[in-house]
Amino acid sequence: MSPSDTPPAAVPVTPSDTASKPHDLHGAGRATTLIHHAYQPPGGFAAVQPGVFKASTVFFSDTAALKAREWKDKSGYTYGLHGTPTTFTLEERLASLEGGRQCLLAPSGLSALTLVGQSVLKAGDEVLIPDNVYAPNRDFTRVELAHWGITHRVYDPMDPAGLAAHITERTRLLWLEAPGSVTLEFPDLPALLQVARAHPRLIVALDNTWGAGLAFDPFRLGVPASADTEGVDISVHALTKYPSGGGDVLMGSVVTRDEALHLQLKLTHMRLGLGVGANDAEALLRGLYSLPLRYAAHDRATRHVAHWLAARPEFEGVLHPALPGSPGHEAWTRVATAAGGLVSVVFRGDRHTPERVDAFVDALRVFRIGYSWGGPISLVMPYSLKGMRRFGALAGRDGDTLVRFAIGLEDPADLIADIAQALAVLN
Ligand SMILES: *Cc1c(COP(=O)(O)O)cnc(C)c1O
């Protein structure tokens, strides 16, 4: 669990506390009275939910307040895109969750990832991405960043010693992901960070969606960088997954511990016009209350399913960081205390053709076919290994198929029974 060294967010103000110019419009017409109604509810409303504040326009009480406006911190309100009590509260709680100090919200996990590159990179810079990076981040890097004269290299995340050879004076951003998407190899994060910290220009960003701020502490990985940071510089989180927990909200966060880096990201965030809806922010605030409990339940059930899968003869490998023998298991034990809700299995093409694996996936009844994860319903997704990896045991495995299970909150026994009946179809 990450220590929460950020104080809990204050309960937001109620509408009567906000800057609204009092009007005395006696004698005004019906429409004007409805629009400028004088009633103000009493302040001090306190309840479990901090409230949904919706706004584009935010009022200033007078021109002096307008001229004194300050949107770069949380000292006041200027415009809906720059924050409301709802989004400020969510940001503060997410910063605490990840052991950070500042947080920005973006409309999806992917937009939070792309914000980082757009903010810290310029033409001529190079970015390093791991072989098993979240694929849309690789595509953004390969296509959009390339259009802007930013190059990239793909490194083997399971070879920290080899990382140094990729770093040049042009390298500006290093992406980490733990474990990697789909194939779930868990890298040695402290070792990768140690290599990176020999290069002060290098900004280290982690896609922390899997860890969710609960499996390990991204800002305390035991590698000193400055007096302030012993971990990554930036932690990006697809809130779409575990924090939402409902499969019904898209959002991302960018958490930092350094004020200057946060401000740089925030200025880009503002220029790009990124913002989130108040109802989605409220759904996230509700989800956060039960996040640790849900994460623990996903973790427990997934280990149970993974051990069952590991004893089956159909798979050539079962990939899950907490499973001894899974790539990066040792590295996982050194930094993490939990293992999330994903487990993947590998089918050898000469024993189970991709068509047979598709039939297995189609035969599942409790698991549903669909992208994403973190919600109550277990999900399954087949992937061809053709061209998927450049490094490691899964490179060059063109005829083989990987199936990723995202374990939901159902009874694990029912999930195992479902996989067992679908394997009977395969065999
Ligand atoms: C889902 C996911 C994202 C992107 O989140 P969206 O909200 O779907 O854009 C980013 N990184 C990882 C590791 C993810 O699993």
210-229 average pLDDT score = 83
Of 240, 242, 344, best ligand 1 pocket probe by most atoms within 8 Å of the beta carbon: 240
* Position 5 pLDDT exceeds 50: no
Ligand 1 atom with minimal separation from the 250 CA: 7
Q: Are 398 and 387 in contact (CB under 8 A)?
A: yes
Q: Which of 268, 284, 300 represents a domain boundary (last residue)?
A: 284
The token pair that represents 76 in the structure block = 């006041």
Cis peptide preceding 179, ω within 30 of 0: yes
One domain, residues 274 and 297 = no
DSSP string, 95-153: HHHTT-SEEEEESSHHHHHHHHHHHH--TT-EEEEETT--HHHHHIIIIIIHHTT-EEE
Cβ neighbours for 412, distance < 8 A, ≥ 6 positions apart: 300, 301, 304, 305
Q: Which of 284, 307, 341 represents a domain boundary (last residue)?
A: 284
Cα 139 to middle of ligand 1, angstroms: 13
Cα 240 to middle of ligand 1, angstroms: 7
- Distances 113 to 33, 82, 320, 377 between C-alpha atoms, Å: 46, 19, 24, 26
Specify the pLDDT at position 3: 41
Cβ neighbours for 104, distance < 8 A, ≥ 6 positions apart: 91, 112, 115, 253, 254, 262, 265, 266, 269, 274
pLDDT tens for 28-69 read 999 999 999 989 999 999 999 999 999 999 999 999 999 998
Specify the pLDDT at position 427: 81
One domain, residues 244 and 164 = yes
Cα 5 to middle of ligand 1, angstroms: 26
One domain, residues 158 and 56 = yes
pLDDT tens for 190-212 read 999 999 999 999 999 999 999 99
353-358 average pLDDT score = 96
The token pair that represents 118 in the structure block = 């757009």
The residue whose C-alpha atom lies closest to atom 15 belonging to ligand 1 is 209
One domain, residues 278 and 301 = no
Ligand 1 atom with minimal separation from the 372 CA: 1
The letter for the amino acid at 167 is I
Beta strands in 146-270 (DSSP E): 151-155, 171-177, 203-207, 234-238, 252-256
- Using DSSP's 3-state secondary structure scheme, residue 74 falls into coil
Q: Give 104's strand partners.
A: 254
One domain, residues 367 and 419 = yes
The reply to whether the predicted model has a pTM over 0.75 is yes
- What is the residue range of 389's domain? 291-426
* Position 7 pLDDT exceeds 90: no
Q: Are 384 and 358 in contact (CB under 8 A)?
A: no
Q: Which of 261, 284, 307 represents a domain boundary (last residue)?
A: 284
Query: Which of 201-215, 228-242, 348-362 shows the lowest per-residue confidence on average (mean pLDDT)?
Result: 228-242
- Identify the CA nearest to 94 among candidates 16, 230, 2, 216: 2
Of 372, 379, 383, best ligand 1 pocket probe by most atoms within 8 Å of the beta carbon: 372
What domain count does the chain have?
Answer: 2
One domain, residues 65 and 189 = yes
The residue whose C-alpha atom lies closest to atom 8 belonging to ligand 1 is 109
Ligand 1 atom with minimal separation from the 181 CA: 13
Helix or strand run (H / E) with residue 289: helix 278-310
Q: Are 113 and 236 in contact (CB under 8 A)?
A: yes
Cα 251 to middle of ligand 1, angstroms: 9
One domain, residues 273 and 297 = no
One domain, residues 50 and 195 = yes
pLDDT tens for 92-135 read 999 999 999 999 999 999 999 999 999 999 999 999 999 999 99
DSSP string, 295-359: HHHHHHHHHHHHHHHHT-SS-SEEE-TTSTTSTTHHHHHHH-S--TTEEEEEE-TTTS-HHHHHH
Q: Are 58 and 71 in contact (CB under 8 A)?
A: no
One domain, residues 263 and 319 = no
Of 114, 175, 241, best ligand 1 pocket probe by most atoms within 8 Å of the beta carbon: 241
One domain, residues 263 and 123 = yes
Cα 109 to middle of ligand 1, angstroms: 5
Phi–psi pair at 59, nearest 5 degrees: -75, 145
Spatial separation of the C-alpha atoms in residues 229 and 37, rounded to whole Å: 50
pLDDT tens for 174-193 read 999 999 999 999 999 999 99
Ligand 1 atom with minimal separation from the 108 CA: 7
**Which strands sit side by side in the sheet containing 368-369, from one edge to the other?**
317-319, 342-347, 401-406, 379-384, 368-369
**Residue 325, domain CATH:** 3.90.1150.10
Spatial separation of the C-alpha atoms in residues 308 and 279, rounded to whole Å: 40
Cα 110 to middle of ligand 1, angstroms: 6
- Identify the CA nearest to 132 among candidates 334, 344, 324, 337: 344
Ligand 1 atom with minimal separation from the 240 CA: 7
Cα 135 to middle of ligand 1, angstroms: 9
Of 209, 242, 344, 373, best ligand 1 pocket probe by most atoms within 8 Å of the beta carbon: 209
One domain, residues 37 and 130 = yes
The residue whose C-alpha atom lies closest to atom 6 belonging to ligand 1 is 109
Specify the pLDDT at position 195: 95
Cβ neighbours for 179, distance < 8 A, ≥ 6 positions apart: 132, 185, 186, 187, 210, 321, 328, 332
- Distances 238 to 130, 191, 284 between C-alpha atoms, Å: 18, 25, 11
One domain, residues 279 and 317 = no
Q: Which residues line ligand 1 (CB under 6 A)?
A: 108-110, 113, 134, 181, 207, 209, 238, 240-241, 250, 252, 372
Q: What are all long-range contacts of 191-197, with beta carbons under 8 Å and residues at least 24 apart?
A: 191/160, 191/161, 191/331, 192/157, 192/160, 192/163, 193/221, 193/223, 193/225, 193/231, 193/232, 194/160, 194/223, 195/160, 195/161, 195/163, 195/164, 195/167, 196/163, 196/167, 197/223, 197/224, 197/225
Cα 68 to middle of ligand 1, angstroms: 38
The residue whose C-alpha atom lies closest to atom 5 belonging to ligand 1 is 109
**Residue 165, domain CATH:** 3.40.640.10
Cα 375 to middle of ligand 1, angstroms: 13
DSSP at 10? P
Cα 259 to middle of ligand 1, angstroms: 25
